[in-house]
Structure 1
């Protein structure tokens, strides 16, 4: 368990182009101090290249596109399909500070829950909310807070199933699997999450995806702009997901 936590921490740090750029800049400074000018120059060029490349929206689009485009046959069609359940995977909820409840949910959480509400209204299918004690405050269960939000939006408590277990995507899917046996389910999660969730799913189950929280909306095209902080963050999200996919293949 400790090894996995260490690997996760390393992956989070390496997933940030900004952190990588600063790392190579620091290495360049060290080599310069040691009078190893060639090595220093190489590290400095790497630092600048990483910062320039991954601050370009075009590059962010290119690395995000494969993640956000699942097989068309697995994308849910509300006009043609009526699922038995709607499963909303957890994202995050901020437990710190004196802030309004809606502000505690991250963008990905709000989009997933809003889409679950709209899909429930259209199809009448009950909603499963998942996610356990992985927040800053261990006493708070994510799924319970997500269910509270859906109830406040107007979803009847009888149409909500709370599975307050799981601290990772794999654990969440494991704990809901018994509920889904012999049932059809539409899974609502972020678009970058599709590939990994598909790999983790029990393929004997009948499921489709309804992705939200898209970070890119068009076919990748080639263009250059001024460096963009938004592109750096989008690149970070993509790299994190690729690291998570690699972990799935290596350890699961």
Structure 2
């Protein structure tokens, strides 16, 4: 799906468009405009309330438990996310929160089992710097042997990452590290390409039980709208994935 279209389909742009349309309608037909405006305001409130949006996100994040196995690992796979090209930032700040969370979890596992190979992938076409290279540089700075890192710089999305990595991990013990919300879509692609991996989800948005929000959880908050945005992005990705596999299961 086109990145611009994905951005326009996110909650905040959609709600803003809804509110603008309602405001314009209020000018021309006040009563009809109010009927459109009130649901928009209610949707904005509910869509930015953590108690609501975290329940939606939990349906994705809790599908796979946190990784706890002590079995030997051959490969630790880290899927790419996002980074900044702003050269004034230190290396640790060039990676976005999602990338930093994934890499941190992978490094924890690697330091427990340093015999494992660290597989880094991902590229952002519009960026000057390679996402994979920045991740590799930070991993080395944090103690990983550079000879233990396999860099795959060509893939630009999750499907391409799974297709590129699968040939390198045949008949081995593999752990897949990515954001918990992104894990269901990722596992499905690796399964499609015949790669056996064990999920090691990280970068959770839901960090408390559903009943622990209190009254403040029902108030609008930046965390609430961010959680909804990430969840909606992943649900769109799952829908797109399902459509691809239905449309042409041999070559999606």
TM-score (norm 2): 0.89
Counterpart among 118, 128, 131 of residue 127 in structure 1: 118
* Structure 1 partner of 2:231: 238
Q: How many residues align?
A: 240
Secondary structure class of the residue paired with 1:46? helix
- Structure 2 distance, partners of 1:39, 1:169, is 44
* Structure 1 partner of 2:16: 22
Counterpart among 6, 10, 27 of residue 11 in structure 1: 6
**Deviation at 1:200?**
1.2
Counterpart among 126, 145, 149 of residue 156 in structure 1: 145
* Structure 2 partner of 1:58: 51
User: 1:171-250, aligned counterparts within 5 Å?
Assistant: 171-202=160-191, 204-221=194-211, 223-225=214-216, 226-250=219-243
Segment drifting more, 24-33 vs 196-205: 196-205
**Deviation at 1:36?**
2.5
Secondary structure class of the residue paired with 2:181? helix
- Structure 2 distance, partners of 1:126, 1:82, is 12
**Deviation at 1:67?**
0.7
Contact residue 141 and residue 164 of structure 1 kept, 8 A: yes
C-alpha offsets along residues 212-243 of structure 1, whole Å, 9 cap, x if unaligned?
11101233237542321211111111111111
* Structure 2 partner of 1:69: 62
- Structure 2 distance, partners of 1:115, 1:91, is 14
**Deviation at 1:58?**
0.4
- Structure 2 distance, partners of 1:56, 1:89, is 29
Gaps of 5+ in 1: none
TM-score (norm 1): 0.89
- Structure 2 distance, partners of 1:54, 1:143, is 34
Contact residue 94 and residue 136 of structure 1 kept, 8 A: no
- Structure 2 distance, partners of 1:86, 1:23, is 43
Secondary structure class of the residue paired with 1:50? helix
- Structure 2 distance, partners of 1:76, 1:97, is 34
- Structure 1 distance, partners of 2:150, 2:87, is 28
**2:79 maps to 1:84:** no
Secondary structure class of the residue paired with 1:144? helix
**2:240 maps to 1:251:** no
Counterpart among 39, 45, 59 of residue 32 in structure 2: 39
- Structure 2 distance, partners of 1:154, 1:114, is 12
* Structure 1 partner of 2:135: 146
Contact residue 64 and residue 201 of structure 2 kept, 8 A: no
- Structure 1 distance, partners of 2:188, 2:7, is 21
